[in-house]
């Protein structure tokens, strides 16, 4: 089965037919318009497969409705969830682009030595923050060219340019 990628967040209900506001994480919505099924991840970490019953745009809103959640009351339980889709159904990448999920597990190299591993990411004020695990500690490093190189997916590495960020 294809790996699942987080592609959108589910907002509040809209209207009386169980539609929910959906916000693309990439800013692209074309791939979401074509979905027939997806997986929602609840804030507690549980996941549930869902069938998409309807998709529509209304002004600047993108709305989705899921089978079994056709009323505002039943759909409300999905607010705050993350929408995950198969990699093959996610937004297509342009040359040089990659999915954030592709960063997970990369070895972090500094001066030719492996000094950690990317364990997670989070949104920072100015840039994506890489959660680098080293010797049982997590260090947050902004994904900016001054601190970190572009990933080398063939080697499975990413270069740390400032060793002080990991206390080295």
User: From first to last of its 168 residues, what are the pLDDT tens digits of the chain?
Assistant: 358 888 999 999 999 999 999 999 888 898 999 999 999 999 999 999 999 999 999 888 999 999 999 999 999 999 999 999 998 888 888 888 888 888 999 999 998 999 999 999 888 888 889 999 999 999 999 999 999 999 999 999 999 999 888 887
Give the homologous superfamily in CATH for domain 100-166.
Answer: PRC-barrel domain (2.30.30.240)
Locus of tokens 């693309």: 24
- Domains 4-89 and 100-166 equal at CATH topology level: no
Q: Distance of alpha carbon 29 from its chain centroid, rounded? A: 14
Per DSSP, the three-state class of 79 is: coil
Which residues, in sequence order, are CB contacts of 69 under 8 Å at separation 6+?
Answer: 18, 20, 50, 75, 77, 78
Domain 4-89 belongs to what topology?
Elongation Factor Tu (Ef-tu); domain 3 (2.40.30)
In angstroms, the CA 29 to CA 41 distance is 19
Greatest Cα pair distance, the chain, in angstroms, is 59
pLDDT at 97: 84
pLDDT at 3: 86
In angstroms, the CA 161 to CA 148 distance is 5
Q: Are 16 and 74 in contact (CB under 8 A)?
A: no
pLDDT at 28: 86
| Domain parsing of the chain, residue ranges | 4-89, 100-166
């Amino acid at each position: 089965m294809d790996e699942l990628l987080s592609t959108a967040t589910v907002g509040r209900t809209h209207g009386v037919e169980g539609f929910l506001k959906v916000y693309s994480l990439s800013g692209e919505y074309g791939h979401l318009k074509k979905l027939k099924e997806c997986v929602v991840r609840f804030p507690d970490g549980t996941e549930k497969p869902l069938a998409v019953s309807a998709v529509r745009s209304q002004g600047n809103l993108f709305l989705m409705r899921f089978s079994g959640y056709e009323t505002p009351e039943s759909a409300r339980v999905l607010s705050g969830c993350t929408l995950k889709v198969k990699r093959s159904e996610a937004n297509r990448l342009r040359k040089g682009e990659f999915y954030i999920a592709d960063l997970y597990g990369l070895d972090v190299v500094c001066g030719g030595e492996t000094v950690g591993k990317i364990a997670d990411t989070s949104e920072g004020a100015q840039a994506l923050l890489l959660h680098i695990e080293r010797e049982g500690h997590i260090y947050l490093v902004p994904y900016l060219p001054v601190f970190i190189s572009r990933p080398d997916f063939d080697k499975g590495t990413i270069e740390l340019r400032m060793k002080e960020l990991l206390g080295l």
